[in-house]
Amino acid sequence: MSQYPNAPYGAGPNDPSMNPYQQDNSGKKGLAIAALVLGILSLPAILTVVGGIVLGLIAIILGIVAARGASKGKNGGKGLAITGIVLGALGLVVSVIIVVVGVSIFNSDSGQQLRDCISQAGDDQAAIDQCNQEFSDNLTN
């Protein structure tokens, strides 16, 4: 019998049928928060390319672990974990695209001409600047 006999929505707060030792795991969001933070940081780290890849991968891994824990009821923050996974994946994908585009440009004929021009220029900064200018002009045309 409940302490509140006419409770319209079930048992009262002191009902013995409720488990007093039941843990509230909604406060255990450390992995989910870490995944979210690393996912957010992976976006500006795209500019460093390697940072976007590393932070993105770590955010995805932590997010998956946190989301699985939240699904099993061990911890909270499933939404934070999923957001961390999405942002980490975005940082990872954009960084990989930048690497692929950079490698393809560097391995193109224009990239080879730039490398040859710079090697012929030696230590002459004016000649190196001219090589860079010609390379930029080739890319825009």
What's the rounded Cα separation, in Å, for the pair 97 and 103? 10
At residue 12, what is the residue type? Answer: G
Q: Could you read off the pLDDT of 110-125 as tens digits, one per residue?
A: 788 888 888 888 888 9
Q: Could you read off the pLDDT of 25-41 as tens digits, one per residue?
A: 556 888 999 999 999 99
Structure-token pair, residue 10: 């079930």
| Domain range annotation of the chain | 28-95, 108-141
- Whole-model pTM: value is 0.66
Structure-token pair, residue 141: 């045309």
Structure-token pair, residue 135: 């390379």
Burial label, 111 (beta-carbon count in 10 A; 0-12, 13-18, 19+): middle
Structure-token pair, residue 33: 């928060």
